[in-house]
Structure 1
Amino acid sequence: MTVLELDEINTYYGNSHVLHDVSLELAEGEVVALLGRNGAGKTTTMRSIMGVTPPRDGTVRFDGADLDGLSPDERNELGVNLVPEDRRVFPTLTVQENLTLAHKLADDPRPVEEMYELFPVLDPLRSNQGQNMSGGEQQMLAVARALIQRPKVLLLDEPTEGLAPVIVDDLREMLHDVVSEDVTVLLSEQNVNFAFDLATRGYIIDTGEIVYEGTIEELQQRDDLLERYLAVSPEEIA
């Protein structure tokens, strides 16, 4: 069953046409990667889905319903939750306070303690303020804060951006636990190996257009696409 669908959306920043007839879909419980170089249109696609930068035409559907005209908060209440590239944890609130606030704002939240079980690195940091955490710790808190609201679709925008390789490995392990719970995920990434390890299907976006759609297994065999659109050589694929 299709949970999220983009049907030929066109998104602009002012007069600049950024997304061109972008179409993609996610089935329930699926993990899909949106791949592309920096500036290819990945973040704009995420912002379009959330209504932060609404498309001028085309349709975003969630559970078969058109989301046109709904605010980001309304889309979040329906079950579409974005973890943005800049994480946006509350800097002066502690880990516990960040999670408790998300819990209070949700209609049917998961227990806060479950988040510490899912992200054990956060447990000893309960009293730490967001501004005093590393980038990796902030990323895990941002994902935990989203999951506490029981999203139907989780949008992860560049979760490994700026993280050290060892932290990327930790995040990969924890996200494996997340996706094993049948959460539907759209993952925007430049780190190809990270995305390949989590997703089963992928899209490549380039200059605002979808240039490839298929399984990760098929994409791994397409050296031409990896080199042309993702600047990755076959030897770099783990």
Structure 2
Amino acid sequence: MTVLEIDDIDTYYGNSHILHDVSLDLAEGEVVALLGRNGAGKTTTMRSIMGVTPPQRGSIRYRGEELVGKSPDEINELGLNLVPEDRRVFPTLTVHENIVLAHKLADDPRPVEEMYDLFPVLDDLRSNNGQNLSGGEQQMLSVARALIQRPSTLLLDEPTEGLAPVIVDDLREMLQDVVDQNVTVLLSEQNVNFAFDLATRGYVIDTGSIVFEGSIEDIRERDDLLEKYLAVSPEEVA
């Protein structure tokens, strides 16, 4: 069953035309990667879906309901949750307070302790303020805050941005646990191997246009896509 359908959207920042006829879809329980270089249009696609930067043309439907024209809060209430690239944890609140606040704001939240089971690293950091966490710890906290609200679809925008390789490995394992719970995921990512490990299907975006869609294996085997649009050599793809 298709849960998210994006049809021919055009999105602008002021007079700058950023997205050009972008179309993509997600099925229930699927993990789809949106791949491209920095500035290709990945974050704008995420912001368009969530109503932060609404498209000027085209349609975005979630479970058959049109999202264009709805506020980010209204879209969030439908079951979509965005983990943004800049993480946006509350810096002066502790890890536990960040999670509890997200719990209180949700209509049907998951148990707080379930988040510590899913992200054991956070369990030892309960009393640490958000501003004192590493980038990887902040990313895990951001995902935990999103998951506690029991979203049916999770949008992850550049989750590995700025993280050390060892932290990326930890995050991959924890997100695999999330994926195994049948949460539908749209993953925007520059780290090709990270995306390939989690997703089964992908879209390649360049200068605001989708230039390829197919299975992860299709993308992995296309040397031209890897080199031209994703800035990696075939040898770098695990």
| TM-score bucket (shorter structure) | over 0.9
**Which letter maps to 2:122?**
L
Alignment partner of 1:168 is 2:168: yes
The size of the alignment, in residue pairs, is 238
Gaps spanning 5+ residues in structure 1: where?
none
Runs of 4+ in 1 over 3 A off after TM superposition: none
**Structure 1 position 170, deviation (Å):** 0.3
Alignment partner of 1:215 is 2:215: yes
**Hey, what's the Cα distance between the residues in 2 that align with 1:166 and 1:80?**
29
Match of 2:4 in 1: 4
Q: TM-score, normalised by structure 2?
A: 0.99
**Which letter maps to 2:41?**
G
**Hey, what's the Cα distance between the residues in 2 that align with 1:64 and 1:200?**
23
Match of 2:90 in 1: 90
Report 1:77-156 matches (<5 A). 77-156=77-156
1:18-52 superposed Cα distances (whole Å, 9 cap, x missing partner): 00000000000000000000000000000000000
1:99-158 superposed Cα distances (whole Å, 9 cap, x missing partner): 001000101000000000000000010000000000000000000000000101100000
Match of 2:226 in 1: 226
**Hey, what's the Cα distance between the residues in 2 that align with 1:110 and 1:116?**
11
Match of 1:32 in 2: 32
Percent identity over the alignment is 83
Q: Matched residue of 2:124: which SS?
A: helix
Match of 2:15 in 1: 15
Report 1:57-68 matches (<5 A). 57-68=57-68
**Hey, what's the Cα distance between the residues in 1 that align with 2:106 and 2:5?**
24
**Hey, what's the Cα distance between the residues in 1 that align with 2:106 and 2:70?**
18
Gaps spanning 5+ residues in structure 2: where?
none
**Structure 1 position 228, deviation (Å):** 0.7
**Structure 1 position 68, deviation (Å):** 1.8
Q: Matched residue of 1:125: which SS?
A: coil
**Hey, what's the Cα distance between the residues in 2 that align with 1:38 and 1:69?**
28
Q: TM-score, normalised by structure 1?
A: 0.99
**Which letter maps to 2:6?**
L
**Structure 1 position 6, deviation (Å):** 0.5
